[in-house]
Amino acid sequence: MPPKRVGHRASKGYFASVYEGITSPDNAPLVRSLAVFGAAVVFLASPLSEYLLPP
């Protein structure tokens, strides 16, 4: 007979563990810098980036 699991929670799903990792305070600087980088890439790829060119 296999041993019983006493006091153990069921393992989390993949998306739950990813969400917990992203929202962890330890990973906040990394997540924030990736968000700023993504916003900069989107801005520079858009037509609004033409306003940065000199006249």
Checking if the pLDDT of 8 tops 60, the result is: no
Quick one: average pLDDT of 2-10? 64
| pLDDT of res. 12 | 79
- What is the reported pTM? 0.62
Domain residue ranges in the chain = 28-55
pLDDT of residue 27: 92
Look up residue 20 and give its two tokens.
């917990």
Tell me the per-residue pLDDT of 15-51, one tens digit each, with 9 for 90 and over.
999 999 989 999 999 999 999 999 999 999 999 999 9
Give the model's pLDDT for residue 43: 94
